[in-house]
Structure 1
Amino acid sequence: MRWFLKVGSHRQRHLYRSCALQLQVPTLLHQPRSFSFDVAEREGFDIFTASKPSFIHPTAIVPPDAVIGQGVSIGPFCSVSTSAKLGNGCQLHPGSHVFGTTELGDNCMLMTGAVVGDDYPGCTIIGSNNRIGYHAVVGVKCQDMKYKPEDECFLEVGHNNDIREHTSIHRSSKSTDRTVIGNGNLIMGSCHIAHDCKIGNNNIFANNTLLAGHVEVEDYVHTAGATVVHQFCHLGSFSFLGGGSVVSQDVPKYMLVAGERAELRGLNLVGLTRCGFSDAEIRSLRAAYRKIFMCIDANAGSLEERLGEVELHEEFVHVPAVRAMTQSIRDSFAENRRGVCKFRHWNVS
């Protein structure tokens, strides 16, 4: 995307010449014309390289106390707070804002209209190489009625995340907790991640995925569009949530859920294959899943008993993936957990 500064009038040429002299940027004022960052790069100013000076548009509000790294480009009508820190190579596109005690790592990009941070106690820390999309709102006050304005609240975001347009990610609701986003996540348009959520790595949330407060998501979880997750739910690694699902209980590792009230529909076989699980591991997982959730023996016993049998079965005891799945199911029934999503009972009478 290009940012343009018109330099046609005498006053505009004077403002731009002063800015260019401070930053050692070619003034390009031989004739009235539009100046873009592409032109600056061609004429010797590489704005994406940390070794070069920063560029701050004259209409941007950047107080002298803000810490600005090398090679930072701040476009028209942006604002940066006094206590903000911008790492090397950051780009603030026109009309984006950094508020409060906020730290951006190296090479972060804020698209037009993006807002990061808030003027409330606490802080927002964003890692390196993150892209925050058009009109996304990241690190603002939570929507928990128990929150008190004097309480500190926190958000920590890792590295290499793509947070798309109109997404909202909120800080924690209390000083003893924090909202955490890991690394390498793709959070598509209009998603919402509420206060105190814990998001792992390499997850994909499709458009309009909504996570309520205190939701925990492990790694390599994939949601389809318009998925809703109830507060305090856990989503296990390599699970898949079907489009339009309303998830009100835990989703164990490797499983697929779907439905208006989400139910277990088997294993996430496509996701497991794409993530490199071997045929032998997938066969063992399928066999274990059938014994736990699809038993047709009327004398098979309760879910707890079937789970115990799988854990001790010689076919599965040496398969780490099966052990991880059974432990994930057990954890869902621990104190203060919500149990697993409902499954179809196959027992015959």
Structure 2
Amino acid sequence: MPGAMVGDHLPGRTVLGCNNVIGHHAVIGVKCQDLKYKPGDECFLHIGDNNEIREHTSIHRSSKSSDKTVIGDCNLIMGSCHIAHDCNIGNNNIFANNTLLAGHVVVEDYTHTAGAIVVHQFCHIGSFSFVGGGSVVSQDVPKYTMVVGERAELRGLNLEGLRRNGFTATEIKSLRTAYRKIFMPVDSNSTSFEERITKVEEDKELGKITAVCSMIQSLRDSFAQNRRGICKFRYFSGS
């Protein structure tokens, strides 16, 4: 569209796939805003197919030659969004206006952000999750969950997103049961967070549900070395 700029006079390259729309005055594939970048280093941006990148969005190349900023396929990136250096964005995501991602953020698939959200560097946003408007995300968002808040907190499962994306009633019921066992124990002092995760893993019924296993793995991955842990959550008792 008029006013858009794609690529920059830098070593390295910006690669776009097929059927992408670049909106008015968007700036795609320019120098990153990382002071560690050394002039003359190669830097890269790879964008897949069928993405709609709306007006005034900025997407930066990587900060070093050993990495690259990646945007997958079929993403809707609305106006005035920012995707910083070395981010890795999957497929079929929807970023509402003014979604701002710092460097090295990983967003999986089928996520949805509301407007004016900020994501801290190195955070991971799990598949089929939802980030509420105005949220500041400073830790990982597990798969299938919903977070919101000035310092984003877990507020349950992204039930509407799961239904829209074809999850069965059995899968959703199992995810709700697993979520309650992990995040809404009757007595939070009786067992540790790790013990509750293990108990769900070992459950004869829940342990057979692929979606539950995927959520558990997402939680465990967030506590791996050099990861930021998951967003805070409140203990609620009851149904």
Alignment of 1:67-146 (within 5 A): 111-146=1-36
- Name 2:228's counterpart in structure 1: 338
**How many pairs are equivalent?**
238
Q: CA deviation at 1:229?
A: 0.2
Conservation of the 8 A alpha-carbon contact between 1:265 and 1:343: yes
1:290 alignment partner, SS class: helix
Amino acid in structure 2 at the alignment position of 1:237: S
Asked whether 1:184 is paired with 2:92, we answer no
Distance across 1 between alignment mates of 2:56 and 2:236: 43
After TM superposition, the structure 1 = structure 2 runs for residues 186-205 of structure 1, keeping only pairs within 5 Å, are 186-205=76-95
Please list every run of 5 or more consecutive structure 1 residues that lacks an aligned counterpart in the other structure: 1-110
Q: Indicate conservation of the 8 Å contact 2:132/2:149, yes or no.
A: yes
Task: Give 1:247's aligned residue.
Answer: 137
Aligned to 1:287: 177
Q: Give the corresponding residue for 2:119.
A: 229
Q: Which residue of 2 aligns with 1:27?
A: none
CA shift in 2, pair 1:143/1:267, >3 Å: same
AA in 2 matched with 1:333:
F
CA distance in structure 1 between the aligned counterparts of 2:113 and 2:190, rounded to whole angstroms: 33
Structure 1 match to 2:151: 261
Identify which of 201, 204, 208 aligns with 1:311. Answer: 201
Instruction: Tell me what 1:37 maps to.
Output: none
Matched with 2:65 is: 175
C-alpha distance in structure 2 between counterparts of 1:347 and 1:164, whole Å: 43
Match of 1:120, SS?
coil
Q: Cα RMSD over matched residues?
A: 1.1
Name structure 2 gaps, 5 residues minimum. Answer: none
SS at match of 1:317: helix
* Distance in 2, Cα, partners of 1:210 & 1:220: 17
Q: CA deviation at 1:298?
A: 4.8
**Aligned counterparts of 1:122 and 1:249: Cα–Cα separation in 2:** 31
Larger of the two Rg values belongs to structure: 1
Q: Contact 1:251/1:341 (CA < 8 Å) preserved in 2?
A: yes
For 2:14 and 2:218, the matched residues in 1 are separated by 31
Higher relative contact order, chain-length normalized (CA < 8 Å, sep 6+): 2
1:273 deviates by 0.2
Q: Shift of the alpha carbon at 1:153?
A: 0.2
Q: CA deviation at 1:347?
A: 6.9
Q: TM-score, normalised by structure 2?
A: 0.98
Question: What is the TM-score normalised by the length of structure 1?
Answer: 0.67
Runs of 4+ in 1 over 4 A off after TM superposition: none
1:265-320 Cα offsets, whole Å, 9 max, x none, are 00000000000000110000000000000001255311011000001011211100
Q: Which residue does 1:320 correspond to in 2? A: 210
Per the TM alignment, residue 150 of structure 1 is displaced from its structure 2 partner at its CA by 0.9
1:218 aligns to 2:108 (yes or no): yes
Q: Displacement, 1:346?
A: 3.6
d(CA) in 2 for partners of 1:325 and 1:311? 10
Q: 1:325 is matched by which residue type in structure 2?
A: M
CA distance in 2, matches of 1:156, 1:346: 43
Q: Partners in 2 of 1:140 and 1:147 — Cα distance?
A: 12
Aligned residue for 2:55, secondary structure, equals: coil
- The answer on whether the counterparts of 1:205 and 1:224 sit within 8 Å (CA) in structure 2 is yes
Match of 1:273 in 2: 163
User: Are the counterparts in 2 of residues 300 and 306 from structure 1 also a CA contact under 8 Å?
Assistant: no
Distance, in Å, in 1 between the alignment partners of 2:97 and 2:20 is 18
Tell me whether 1:162 sits opposite 2:39 in the alignment: no
Deviation per residue, 1:155-182 (Å, 9 max, x gap): 0000000000000000000000000000
- One-letter amino acid of the counterpart of residue 152, structure 2: A
Contact 2:188 2:235 in 1 (8 A): no
